[in-house]
């Protein structure tokens, strides 16, 4: 569809007002790395576009005592350049850094990666492993959801037509923990994930796993937590044996989920490799 109106917003209020005024006919653009491809291919069905890339409140990365807040219009490159994220949330930083070409990292946003709903969205598995929440705003108010609950089907997210994703928040953790990310792409320049995994792990002085969250990319209809695997691992001693057993459990889960797909044979084996690479860093 031909674009008839382009609105450049500078505040969240301007975004929500535009979404209300043109409800049903309007679409958000942030970095445009996904949407501009759709517009070029004539797959866009909205006549009005609101550009959120210069909304200052949605462009900030802020650490408070207990939380890290990332504005939805923050770009992959800005996460990659943030030393505090690198030091405290290594897997999140690694995911931003792993995104394909530098041009995409300079334009593509964290909010766009979530809202686009792709199973291969690189930033989502570490955010799921970190139990991140998202804030959605409209002229009727705010909703705060666990990121896990936003994915409702293939390419489908629970963001209403009059809502904008404004912030992503993560609890800061004071104790020792690990947050890792591993991805298998096709080639470096445009490495859209064939599959990825991220894990958050806390263990005690005897190496007993006290808390674990594992999340997958490109291993289902959307990025998802691996609850059965987490259940299998929690309370057990992290050693080489458990790592191998867990990799086999993960592989079995992937087989059960994907066994009707042609990619299953490859993914059920490859997932073991990326999982072992990630969990070895927690030893
Ligand atoms: C060549 C190429 C390589 C790529 N490589 C990778 C890769 O390695 N890893 C990866 O994960 N992705 C990759 N992508 C996909 C893309 O870059 C990411 O998904 C990016 O994060 C999208 O963000 P954006 O700001 O460009 O989104 P946009 O294109 O602006 O928007 C995408 C969708 O999200 C909606 N949206 C955007 N922001 C919001 C918001 N705040 N609230 C509500 N809705 C919103 C838009 O309406 C649109 O539907 C690649 C894309 C290309 C073209």
Report pLDDT digits (tens) over 32-85: 999 999 999 988 889 999 999 999 999 999 999 999 999 999 999 999 999 999
State whether residue 138 is helix, strand or coil.
strand
Ligand 1 centroid–CA 2 distance in Å is 21
Alpha-carbon distance 96 to 106, whole Å?
11
Report whether residue 109 contacts ligand 1, using a CB cutoff of 6 Å.
yes
Predicted local distance difference test score (pLDDT) of residue 33: 96
Q: Ligand 1 mean position to 209 CA, how many Å?
A: 35
DSSP 194: E
What mean pLDDT, rounded, does the chain reach? 95
Distance CA 183, CA 193 (A): 6
Distance from Cα 277 to the centre of ligand 1, integer Å: 27
How many CB atoms within 10 Å of residue 173?
A: 15
37: Cβ below 6 Å to ligand 1? yes
**Choice from 108, 117, 162 to test ligand 1 binding pocket (greatest atom count within 8 A of CB):** 108
Tell which atom from ligand 1 comes closest to the C-alpha of 190: 3
Q: Which two tokens stand for residue 210?
A: 């006290």
Measured distance CA(147)–CA(133) in Å, rounded: 5
Query: Is residue 93 classed as helix, strand or coil in its secondary structure?
Result: helix
Question: Rounded CA gap, 92 and 88, in Å?
Answer: 9
Ligand 1 binding pocket includes 114 (Cβ within 6 Å): no
pLDDT value of position 190: 56
Whether the CB of 100 sits within 6 Å of ligand 1: yes
Q: Exposed, middle or buried: residue 79 (CB in 10 Å: 0-12, 13-18, 19+)?
A: buried
Measure CA 155 to chain center.
13
Look at residue 84 in the predicted model and tell me its pLDDT. Answer: 97
The verdict on the CB of residue 218 being under 6 Å from ligand 1 is no
Q: Which residues of the chain have pLDDT under 50?
A: none
Contacts of 28 (CB under 8 A, 6+ apart): 15, 19, 49, 50, 52, 115, 164
Q: Evaluate whether 97 touches 185 at the Cβ level (below 8 Å).
A: no
pLDDT at 193: 57
Q: Which residues of 41-72 are buried (b: 16+ CB within 10 A; e: fewer)?
A: eeebebebbbbbbebeebbebeeeeeebbbbb
What per-residue confidence (pLDDT) applies to 176? 85
Can you say how many angstroms the Cα of residue 75 is from the centroid of all Cα atoms in its chain?
13
Q: Whose CA is nearest to atom 53 of ligand 1?
A: 33
Out of 24, 30, 59, 106, mutate this one to test ligand 1's pocket (max ligand atoms within 8 Å of CB): namely: 30
Cα–Cα distance, 193 to 175 (Å, whole number): 31
Residue pair 165/115 in contact by the 8 Å Cβ criterion: yes
Q: DSSP state, 82?
A: -
CA 271 from chain centre, in angstroms, equals 18
* Whole-number Å distance between alpha carbons of 125 and 279: 15
Ligand 1 pocket, residue 196 CB under 6 Å:
no
Ligand 1 contacts CB of residue 132 (under 6 A): no
């Amino acid at each position: 569809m031909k674009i008839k109106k382009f609105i450049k917003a500078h505040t969240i209020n301007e975004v929500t007002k535009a979404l209300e005024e043109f409800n049903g006919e309007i679409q958000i653009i942030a970095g445009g790395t996904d949407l501009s491809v759709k517009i070029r291919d004539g797959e866009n069905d909205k006549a009005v576009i609101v550009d959120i890339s210069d909304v200052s409140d949605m462009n900030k990365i802020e650490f408070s005592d207990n939380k890290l807040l990332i504005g939805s219009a923050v770009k992959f490159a800005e996460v990659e350049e943030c030393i505090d994220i690198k030091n405290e949330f290594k897997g999140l930083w690694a995911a931003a850094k792993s995104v394909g070409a530098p041009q995409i990292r300079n334009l593509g946003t964290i909010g766009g990666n979530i809202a686009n709903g792709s199973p291969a969205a690189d930033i989502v598995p570490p955010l799921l492993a970190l139990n991140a929440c998202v804030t959605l705003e409209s002229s009727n108010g705010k909703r705060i959801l666990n990121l896990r609950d936003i994915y409702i089907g293939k390419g489908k997210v629970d963001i209403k037509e009059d809502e904008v994703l404004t912030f992503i928040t993560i609890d800061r953790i004071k104790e020792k923990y690990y947050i890792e990310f591993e991805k298998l792409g096709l080639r470096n320049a445009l490495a859209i994930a064939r599959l990825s995994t991220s894990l958050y792990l806390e263990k005690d002085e005897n190496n007993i796993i006290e808390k674990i969250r594992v999340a997958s990319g490109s291993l289902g209809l959307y990025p998802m937590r691996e609850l059965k695997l987490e259940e299998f691992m929690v309370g057990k001693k992290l050693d080489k044996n458990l790592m191998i057993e867990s990799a086999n459990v993960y592989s079995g889960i992937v087989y059960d989920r994907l066994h009707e797909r042609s990619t299953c044979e490859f993914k059920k084996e490859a997932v073991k490799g990326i999982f072992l690479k990630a969990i070895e860093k927690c030893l």
